[in-house]
Chains A and B, each alone.
Chain A
């Protein structure tokens, strides 16, 4: 009990210091200010801009109705494929949709193949065509996507994961964005489908809501999308074919986004919007172990892609200054440097100061972070979320989020070390070893 009162006492002390001493404030919060404030402003103004845009779009009728091909990358998802296909068939989009289920390793994944086959029988609707493309020999995600691309007849290609399902107005909202001929690709909005399964899925739901629905919506208004998700993205077919489709190696989604962005300087009108109103629901990892494994892959691949594969092309000559600086700060520094800074800072504080003081300091940082998160959460809830009631239930879990975010930063540190020293991108589970072996080394 005395520990707690000491803690409260020290916290009060720190609060007092913060209020009375600007120097201390400068000492503890500069990182936050330098780093988060620009992002904070960009996103806030972006979202406001988007809200206006949304009103304008909703009041105009859709006349551009190209044929769309959805490439579903199926592996061992089994029955989940059914929901994906059905939700695509159910789209209210009045144009034609070609649903191509590409099953990688259809011999091992026979169940998935049969479920997809059953869907072809089951779901028959006007303007919807289900195509099965079994790849008997396993070839990995990239080969699956490119196989789908080579078959697809639609003007727009939507790549989706087999464990992802969609709101019925997804396609109508998505196609809208392609009306602008300067749009070569669009990022799709992802939501967590299994929110209420575990604490971890709840945390991820908050994460997706803030970083995707909030962050990407805002950033896209300034044409600063950093990644078109591999689980749900859309591309103009001719453009995609022109740049050679998906490239081998892991993190093919980030790779493709980076490659598209390399045209930004040469074609300054190009833009990658974020389809905030095109909602996809995907299953997030339920256990901590699965989550860590996923993040190890994501963060490691990110380092591989930025620092190994695309390092030579990382230049304002290709990206333009705006995207160069943004990628430098919020691509490289945030994802590569920041986790280490946080780790070192945290350890340093714990070693240098007495534990009561360290704890109090961390509490203040926590409060600051919670405040930021709370702000974004409310912003998204009020202005972006199409399911505000459902998202409101996450409110109670918000206090746990800064802790989750901190743990994820530590996982990220580990992932980066793992990539630097063990070249973890070469042991991806996204393609068989005989394919990975032949890929160009970076």
Chain B
């Protein structure tokens, strides 16, 4: 895609607030300027889904404006840069406006177009989140501290993408369980009320018997002279201590007296106890929680994981079905293997091949025979392939109906033998209507970028397919 095309499709630069005179803002005229946020929302016309929106200094309610843009159905993935950071800018904006902003914006556009996500298909918060985090690869999902809400921490970006603040934690943990996000930093650990999930708790020591907080410590003294034991207050006389029983002056601990009992007493139920219970009383619902029964929540910042990246790039796979047989590896692992093998091949002058096998007209097959049958078929297909390839070959399910094979020490010329084998499998399924499309690319490549998935896609797109 050349620069011209890029401009046509996507570039749109918006400046909100007073356009200031900055030396590196050479192309100031490229910006469409709006005086304030209100003006922007009433006046703008979306030409691009990825506009660059720059907030000038001193925007009133910048945080709210950021939220509004991220919530907008067309503008949610805009590249937003600010001049003055606010409490939400780290979580919602993409950084500060500076000299490198132009390059940054261009790289964002490149990534966004290569993601090739049709916007009208993006309805789920998950897709929004993953694509956002894929496009803005340096952005983390950050929690923000807010005392006005019960949970104390919330994720502004999730809220904008439509995840209810109340459900955000459980939603995030389920996404994390699916390994689509990985934790970045542990920001804090919060304890919540069992009853109302509020983080606003008051820890008080209380009577273990009646839970009353009206407790006081009581200390008893033991007079060595007569053996009398009584509360400390009974021994007080002037500035010193004196036994209420034998009137001996108690001067020195360990010589005249000691402290046999030191404990606490409840003024309500008069129970004596050694250790007071600590209870966590909720400021919202008044529930008294035992401290060890509180809900403990670690508050993390999150990054997109390899799985998340491959999911957003390759689409929803049969995650619900158990397709990961022991012989095949997952896509992110495959990417890693490709990278590694490429480096090995460059160094040791080896030649490998990667073969992409695509099941054509699978959609039609599913429509006719049902999903269950389709999965069965793919399973069978995958296991047959595993049987027919060498043990040193690596197989990976990439996307809904695509298999990738890594064939070490196989030149592209040798691939015809592989094609023959695969044809055998294809013939076995003669009675079915679907066919296989096969493409092969050679390794090593000296210009392999970090984003292996994108590179693979580009390479295969340039190859001619042979249909079996």
Q: Residues 249-275 of chain B: 1 if any A CB is under 8 Å from the residue's CB, otherwise 0?
A: 111111000000000000000000000
Q: Does A146 contact B (CB under 8 A)?
A: no
Which listed residue (B238, B249, B253) contacts A87, Cβ 8 A?
B253
Contacts of B236 in A (CB 8 A): 92
A386 vs B241: C-alpha distance when bound (angstroms): 14
Find out whether the CB atom of A58 lies under 8 angstroms from the CB atom of B238. Answer: yes
List CB contacts (< 8 Å) of B174-196 with chain A: none
Q: Does B449 contact A (CB under 8 A)?
A: no
Bin the interface of chain A by size. 10 to 19
Q: Residues 100-132 of chain B: 1 if any A CB is under 8 Å from the residue's CB, otherwise 0?
A: 000000000000000000000000000000000
Find out whether the CB atom of A92 lies under 8 angstroms from the CB atom of B240. Answer: yes
Find out whether the CB atom of A168 lies under 8 angstroms from the CB atom of B254. Answer: no
Contacts of A90 in B (CB 8 A): 253
Q: Does B60 contact A (CB under 8 A)?
A: no
A58 to chain B, nearest CB (A): 7
Which listed residue (A62, A83, A87) contacts B239, Cβ 8 A?
A62
Find out whether the CB atom of A92 lies under 8 angstroms from the CB atom of B241. Answer: yes
A68 to chain B, nearest CB (A): 14
Find out whether the CB atom of B251 lies under 8 angstroms from the CB atom of A169. Answer: yes
A90 vs B250: C-alpha distance when bound (angstroms): 11
Find out whether the CB atom of B240 lies under 8 angstroms from the CB atom of A83. Answer: no
Find out whether the CB atom of B238 lies under 8 angstroms from the CB atom of A168. Answer: no
Contacts of A172 in B (CB 8 A): 239-240
List CB contacts (< 8 Å) of B247-306 with chain A: 249-254
Q: Does A165 contact B (CB under 8 A)?
A: yes
Contacts of B252 in A (CB 8 A): 87, 165-168, 281
List CB contacts (< 8 Å) of A241-296 with chain B: 279, 281
Contacts of B254 in A (CB 8 A): 83, 86-87
Contacts of A356 in B (CB 8 A): none
Find out whether the CB atom of A92 lies under 8 angstroms from the CB atom of B239. Answer: yes
Q: Residues 126-140 of chain B: 1 if any A CB is under 8 Å from the residue's CB, otherwise 0?
A: 000000000000000
Q: Does A372 contact B (CB under 8 A)?
A: no
List CB contacts (< 8 Å) of A143-178 with chain B: 165-169, 172-173
Chain A residues within 8 Å of B, Cβ to Cβ: 58, 62, 83, 86-87, 90, 92-93, 165-169, 172-173, 279, 281, 386-387
A410 vs B356: C-alpha distance when bound (angstroms): 109
A172 vs B241: C-alpha distance when bound (angstroms): 12
Q: Residues 218-243 of chain B: 1 if any A CB is under 8 Å from the residue's CB, otherwise 0?
A: 00000000000000000010111100
Q: Which residue of B lies closest to A173 (CB)?
A: B239
Q: Name, among B239, B241, B254, the residue most crowded by chain A CB atoms within 10 Å (CB to CB).
A: B239
User: Can you list the 4 inter-chain pairs with the closest CB atoms, starting with the nearest?
Assistant: A172-B239, A169-B240, A167-B251, A90-B253
Contacts of B241 in A (CB 8 A): 92, 168-169
Contacts of A58 in B (CB 8 A): 238
A417 vs B405: C-alpha distance when bound (angstroms): 101
Q: Which residue of A lies closest to B250 (CB)?
A: A168
Contacts of A83 in B (CB 8 A): 254
Chain B residues within 8 Å of A, Cβ to Cβ: 236, 238-241, 249-254
A-B contact count (CB 8 A): 37
Contacts of B238 in A (CB 8 A): 58
B324 to chain A, nearest CB (A): 54
Contacts of B249 in A (CB 8 A): 386
Q: Classify the secondary structure of B's interface with A.
A: strand
B236 to chain A, nearest CB (A): 8
Please list 10 pairs of residues, one from A and one from B, whose beta carbons are closer than 8 Å in the complex, sorted by A's number. Answer: A86-B253, A165-B252, A167-B240, A167-B252, A168-B252, A168-B253, A169-B240, A169-B241, A172-B239, A386-B251
A90 vs B235: C-alpha distance when bound (angstroms): 13
Contacts of A168 in B (CB 8 A): 240-241, 250-253
Contacts of B239 in A (CB 8 A): 62, 92-93, 169, 172-173
A356 vs B253: C-alpha distance when bound (angstroms): 53
A90 vs B240: C-alpha distance when bound (angstroms): 11
A156 vs B17: C-alpha distance when bound (angstroms): 62
Contacts of A87 in B (CB 8 A): 252-254
Known contacts A92-B240, A172-B240; is-contact A279 B251 (Cβ 8 Å): yes
B406 to chain A, nearest CB (A): 61
Contacts of A173 in B (CB 8 A): 239
Other A-B pairs beyond A87-B254, A165-B252, A386-B251, 8, CB < 8 Å: A87-B252, A166-B252, A167-B240, A167-B252, A168-B240, A168-B252, A172-B239, A281-B252
A62 vs B238: C-alpha distance when bound (angstroms): 10
Q: Which residue of B lies closest to A86 (CB)?
A: B253
Contacts of B251 in A (CB 8 A): 167-169, 279, 386-387
A16 vs B249: C-alpha distance when bound (angstroms): 50
A274 vs B450: C-alpha distance when bound (angstroms): 83
Contacts of A167 in B (CB 8 A): 240, 251-252
Q: Which residue of A lies closest to B236 (CB)?
A: A92
Contacts of A92 in B (CB 8 A): 236, 239-241
A279 vs B239: C-alpha distance when bound (angstroms): 14
Q: Which residue of A lies closest to B217 (CB)?
A: A126
A279 vs B256: C-alpha distance when bound (angstroms): 14
Contacts of B240 in A (CB 8 A): 92, 167-169, 172
A155 vs B140: C-alpha distance when bound (angstroms): 53
Contacts of A281 in B (CB 8 A): 252
Q: Name, among B238, B241, B251, the residue most crowded by chain A CB atoms within 10 Å (CB to CB).
A: B251
B260 to chain A, nearest CB (A): 14
A86 vs B254: C-alpha distance when bound (angstroms): 9
Q: Which residue of B lies closest to A93 (CB)?
A: B239
A387 vs B252: C-alpha distance when bound (angstroms): 12
Q: Which residue of B lies closest to A387 (CB)?
A: B251
Q: Which residue of B lies closest to A87 (CB)?
A: B253
Q: Which residue of A lies closest to B251 (CB)?
A: A167
A62 vs B236: C-alpha distance when bound (angstroms): 15
A86 vs B253: C-alpha distance when bound (angstroms): 8
Contacts of B253 in A (CB 8 A): 86-87, 90, 168
B255 to chain A, nearest CB (A): 8
Q: Which residue of B lies closest to A166 (CB)?
A: B252
A318 to chain B, nearest CB (A): 37
B270 to chain A, nearest CB (A): 22
B99 to chain A, nearest CB (A): 51
A172 vs B240: C-alpha distance when bound (angstroms): 8
A282 vs B99: C-alpha distance when bound (angstroms): 75
B234 to chain A, nearest CB (A): 14
A167 vs B238: C-alpha distance when bound (angstroms): 14
A169 vs B240: C-alpha distance when bound (angstroms): 5
Q: Which residue of B lies closest to A58 (CB)?
A: B238
Contacts of B250 in A (CB 8 A): 168
Q: Which residue of B lies closest to A172 (CB)?
A: B239
A105 to chain B, nearest CB (A): 28
Contacts of A169 in B (CB 8 A): 239-241, 251
A89 vs B178: C-alpha distance when bound (angstroms): 57
